[in-house]
Structure 1
Amino acid sequence: MKEFEYKELEKATENFSQSRLIGKGSHGCVYKGILDEGKNIIAIKKQSLGLQKIQDNSKLENEVSILSSLPENSFIVNFLGTSHHCHHDDDDSSKNESFLIMEYLPNGTLYQMLHAKNNILPNWPKRAQIAIQIAKAIQFLHQTKPNSIVHRDIKSANILFDSNWNAKLADLGLALRMKNDHQDESPSHSSNSVTRPAGTIGYLDPDYTKPSKLSTKNDVFSFGVLLFEIMSSRKAIDVSKSPVSIVDWATKLIKEGQSLEICDKRMHVPWYMESTIKNMLSIATRCVSPKKITRPTIEEIVMEMENVIIEPIKYPLWNILRGLTLLRRKRKRSRKNCCIITTNNVTKTCAQHEKKLLIREILADKVTE
């Protein structure tokens, strides 16, 4: 684990200038740092003023402990090192400040992508791709040995995009290691402020009410909420709407057989994506089940997504065949009304012409590797 010089960070952020502030939360602020005359760009997490005043380093130290124990993974923000600085306040008391250094991801958060005005919206195949990348990030944490890691704060604001628009999971300040799949095994330096139930309202599992209720299924619930958000571009909690909870709103529509009404109204849903979207919404519904035992594991979610969501989008042969079958049936029903186009003694029906347009549309929308 690399130790960065504090003076190096000061220079890289122009003394932590507001112009370099790229993220802000209850636990800390994130700054963009430019090193080596622009050759290297990093992200630096600094504790919030509130935590600095009470000298509560637990969350930052917990995040360092978790990240430094993990191998590099393409779905988790890359940890680069730490820095420490001792300074004196106006009352001449000595205070130690810690910093966390990570890779810089230039394309903002999933929250911004879904909710910012005048933003370019992701198409449906891209939304499915983002969902599977997040699921694989959670799977990586849950499969960590010898004890699973529970993130505890899965939400759109903690999903960042790299230069290629791949999604990465960030902010492990609340993450905890499991013990015997029931109790948390918090780092030795952590305080009760770290181990007590925590998360973000709207994404937080309602069953997680005390430390002994910590489970990987807490993350699964949050992932279900996030899936609804990805599909609808509606916030997890929106007081301007009724019901205010995305879970209550979405599950009600699904029970009424109106699952496609959940989809982002700003985006047309091609008929050949309907099955994929319904599969994603089905997964989300099971994830947010009030009964923890009925929720799928993240391994089951990833497997299902790869089998029934991602592969059909990447290789849409099944979509094409299904489309041609439907068009054939449509042609039979409307044969009497179908116009005939004759060119160079070759007769083509409108339905056949429509087939070509359909195939082009499907192939144009598929996810590229």
Structure 2
Amino acid sequence: MMKEFEYKELEKATENFSQSRLIGKGSHGCVYKGMLEEDGKIIAIKKQSLGLQKIEDNSKLENEVSVLSSLPENSFIVNFLGTSRHDGSSKNETFLIMEYLPNGTLYQMLHAQNNILPNWPKRAQIAIQVAKAIQFLHQAKPSSIVHRDIKSANILFDSNWNPKLADLGLALRMKNDCENHDDDDSPSHRSIRPAGTIGYLDPAYTKPSKLSTKNDVFSFGVLLLEIMSSRKAIDVSKSPVSIVDWATKLIEEGRALEICDKRMHVPWYMEATIKNMLSIATRCVSPKKISRPSIEEVVMEMENVIIEPIRFPLWNILRGLTLLRRKRKRCRNHCSIITTNSVTKTCAQHERKLLLREILADKVTE
């Protein structure tokens, strides 16, 4: 249940919104770290940016409050705790209170100097968890919610390094099934201009009537390429400057693995997983919306061809291969006595079944 916090409580928690408590800043708002005096709980408090304060535009924060308060709690979305309102002498302010996520953003993880880089299984895990966050929004009731600003800077990590999607200030709830009618010019969206971040923004989203859940799918495709390469969505120091143009060209030329972060070795057992991730990303950033998968399809495919394979630890595979060699030796001894083709074939089939059974048994007992 949404709680209404006293403004004075927030002032104490942030030492009167001291600069030393500022932990995040964007075009729409500033985020402060605070500690509640009552129970010592650490929280994050979002207030308007200075620019919006000057023109007294509360719309972004009010919209975020409206969207978050309409959603049930979800482990892949930043947890919304409540609001606070302050009626000052010259302005009225809205504050949004959220759970504090202590481990920074995905952008920082991928691009900060001297940072500990995520390994390939962790990158796959981050991708699937972000996809599930988007799926949660797209499956919201009574109608889908389009985030409109999926990017690495809006993915935060909790104390266990699980990613959560944040910043729903630009989010819109679909009306009249607009995602299935590109030319729908419904009054609900006619006045809301396209918005997002350059580099992640769907080029097909050119006017309000083009609002669609596929806009988020495009942005997720860009994010997926960024996770794999640690290259920024737009980088003017490189050619081409767009990660989409750069990556799709390499994939078309059959050089997909060259997209991978050069600072991280790609082990042989991750190559298929990485290629599958890049294949999904390519379809997500297709110029034609009809060619893009839904986020539900993305999640299903990632769970089937990405997450399941990497849950086999390498030691399980090695253990299975060791067992296979032992059984092959026994089988060879047996086949040296009975050397017919049919028996040799039977032994080979037995070896394969044994290896599969052994590895699956390890998987079940994990």
- In structure 1, distance between residues paired with 2:346 and 2:31: 60
Structure 1 or 2: larger strand share?
Answer: 1
Aligned-pair CA distance for 1:145? 1.2
RMSD, matched Cα: 6.4
8 Å CA contact retained: 1:320, 1:362: yes
Distance verdict in 2 for CA 1:339–1:165, change over 3 Å: farther
Change (3 A) 1:19 1:60: same
In 2 relative to 1, CA 269–299 (structure 1 residues): closer, same or farther, beyond 3 Å?
Answer: same
Deviation at 1:320, TM superposition (A): 2.5
Query: In 2, are the aligned partners of 1:150 and 1:178 still within 8 Å (CA)?
Result: yes
- Secondary structure (helix, strand or coil) at the match of 2:24 reads strand
Show CA shifts across 1:114-173 (max 9, x none).
000000000000000000000000000000011100000000000000000000000000
What CA deviation, in whole Å up to 9, does each residue of 1:42-86 have, x standing for no partner?
000010011011111111100000000000000000000001xxx
CA contact (8 A) 1:227 1:284 kept: yes
Measured after TM superposition, the shift of residue 100 of structure 1 is: 0.4
| Residues 340 and 349 in structure 1, CA contact (< 8 A), matched pair in contact too | no
On the 8 A contact 2:335/2:343 being kept in 1, the answer is no
Give the match's secondary structure for 1:342: coil
Give the 4+ runs in structure 1 shifted more than 6 A: 183-189, 325-369
SS at 1:326 equivalent: helix
Instruction: Provide closer, same or farther for how the CA distance between residues 174 and 345 of structure 1 changes in structure 2, counting only shifts above 3 A.
Output: closer
TM-score by length of 1: 0.82
CA offsets per residue over residues 198-253 of structure 1, 9 Å max, x none?
00000000000111000000000000000000000000000000000000000000
Q: Residue 244 of structure 1 aligns to a residue in which SS?
A: coil
Shift of 1:315: 2.8
- The alpha-carbon distance between structure 1 residues 162 and 27, as it changes in their structure 2 partners (threshold 3 A), is same
Q: 1:296 to 1:34 in 2, by over 3 A?
A: same
Give, in angstroms, the shift of residue 39 of structure 1. Answer: 2.4
Q: Deviations over 1:256-314 (max 9, x none)?
A: 10000000000000000000000000000000000000100000000000011111111
Aligned residues of 2:320 and 2:358 also touching (Cα < 8 A):
no
Residues 1:337 and 1:66: Cα distance change in structure 2 (over 3 Å): same
Are the structure 2 counterparts of residues 356 and 302 from structure 1 closer, same or farther at C-alpha, using a change threshold of 3 Å?
Answer: closer
Distance 1:168 1:206 in 2: 25
Distance 1:26 1:41, change over 3 A: same
How many Å separate the matches in 2 of 1:204 and 1:339?
65
Once residues 217 and 349 of structure 1 are traced to their aligned partners in structure 2, the CA distance between those partners, rounded to angstroms, is 50
Deviation at 1:350, TM superposition (A): 24
Q: Is the 8 A contact 1:16 1:31 kept in 2?
A: yes
Q: TM-score, normalised by structure 2?
A: 0.83
Fraction of identical pairs, as percent: 90
Contact residue 276 and residue 309 of structure 1 kept, 8 A: yes
Shift of 1:36: 2.8
CA separation of 1:252/1:319 partners in 2, compared to 1, >3 Å: closer, same or farther? farther
- Alpha-carbon contact 2:328-2:351 (below 8 Å) kept: no
SS in 1 for 2:187: coil
* 3-state DSSP of counterpart to 2:78: coil
Quick check: 1:338–1:349 contact (8 Å CA) kept in 2?
no
Q: Which moved more, 1:201-210 or 1:1-10?
A: 1-10
Q: In the aligned structure 2, how far is the partner of 1:282 from the partner of 1:80?
A: 38
Q: Distance in 1 between matches of 2:108 and 2:24?
A: 12
Q: Work out the CA distance in 2 between the residues paired with 1:368 and 1:244.
A: 47
Does the C-alpha gap of structure 1 residues 11 and 187 become closer, same or farther in structure 2, counting only changes over 3 Å? farther
CA spacing shift, 1:150–1:345, aligned 2, 3 Å: closer
The answer for unaligned runs of 5 or more in structure 2 is: 178-182
CA contact (8 A) 1:340 1:347 kept: no
Q: Number of aligned pairs?
A: 356
Matches within 5 A, 1:53-202: 53-83=54-84, 94-181=90-177, 195-202=192-199
1:313–1:366 CA contact under 8 A, matched in 2: no
Q: Deviations over 1:298-340 (max 9, x none)?
A: 0000000001111111135899289949998999999999999
Q: Point out the more displaced range, 32-41 or 238-247.
A: 32-41
Q: 1: CA distance between counterparts of 2:68 and 2:91?
A: 24
Shift of 1:180: 2.7
Q: Which shifted more, 309-318 or 23-32?
A: 309-318
Tell me how far apart the structure 2 counterparts of residues 29 and 279 of structure 1 sit (CA, whole Å). 37
Change over 3 Å in CA distance of 1:222–1:344 after alignment to 2:
closer
Q: Secondary structure at the match of 2:216?
A: helix
2: CA distance, partners of 1:187 / 1:10:
40
Q: Is the alpha carbon distance of 1:319 and 1:46 closer, same or farther for their aligned partners in structure 2, counting shifts above 3 Å?
A: same
Q: 2:345 aligns to what SS in structure 1?
A: strand
- CA distance in 1: counterparts of 2:30 and 2:339, whole angstroms: 67
Q: Would the aligned equivalents of 2:327 and 2:351 in 1 still touch at CA under 8 Å?
A: no
CA–CA distance in structure 2, aligned partners of residues 220 and 310 of structure 1: 19
Contact 1:62/1:187 (<8 A) preserved: no
SS of residue matched to 1:334: helix
Which runs of no fewer than 5 residues in structure 1 stay unpaired? Answer: 84-90, 190-194
